[in-house]
């Protein structure tokens, strides 16, 4: 059972992260659209909306199988698992903040520059590196 949960967790994580990496890149482009170019803005906004709808079920799958693995392996007592779960919760917060930003774009209330979104886009990369370290080395 563990290997099936692991396979599904890895699948959902890869797919979810693809969305987490790309959605803020769409936001970079949305933030750069000239004010009078409604066609371009609407095209990018539609892409962002569809991507968010696509990646949300992937996030659910990643979380479900990510929580199931420690139950079937008995790893809940290990500190690295608690840290990895915390990173997962932070990543869910990032996901929902992406939704908040999407709502702002829908209402034409973007407050951030394209440079801010470029930095914001790096957060999941850092979380992924830390999570991979925890899983591979199980340091505590």
C-alpha distances in angstroms, 73 versus 35, 58, 121, 122? Answer: 54, 23, 33, 32
Other C-beta atoms lying within 10 Å of the C-beta of residue 7:
11
The helix (run of H) or strand (run of E) holding residue 83 is: helix 79-106
Query: Is 9 annotated in some ligand binding site?
Result: yes
CB 81 within 8 Å of CB 70:
yes
The most distant pair of C-alpha atoms in the chain lies apart, rounded to whole Å, by 57
Query: Is 53 annotated in some ligand binding site?
Result: no
Q: How many Cα atoms are found within 13 Å in the side-chain-facing hemisphere of 46?
A: 6
Cα torsion at 5, 14, 97, 42 (round to 10°)?
Answer: -130
Annotated binding site for heme: 9, 84
Binding residues: 9, 84
């Amino acid at each position: 059972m563990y290997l099936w949960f692991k396979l599904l967790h890895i699948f959902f994580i890869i797919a979810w992260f693809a969305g987490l990496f790309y959605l803020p890149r769409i936001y970079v482009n949305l933030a750069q659209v000239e004010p009078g170019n409604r066609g371009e803005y609407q095209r990018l906004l539609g892409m962002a909306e569809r991507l968010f709808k696509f990646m949300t079920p992937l996030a659910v799958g990643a979380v479900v199988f990510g929580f199931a693995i420690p139950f079937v392996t008995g790893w809940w007592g290990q500190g690295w698992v608690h840290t990895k779960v915390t990173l997962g919760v932070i990543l869910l917060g990032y996901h929902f903040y992406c939704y908040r930003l999407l709502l702002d774009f829908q209402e034409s209330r973007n407050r951030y520059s394209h440079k801010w979104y470029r930095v914001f886009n790096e957060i999941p990369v850092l979380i992924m590196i830390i999570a991979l370290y925890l899983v591979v080395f199980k340091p505590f």
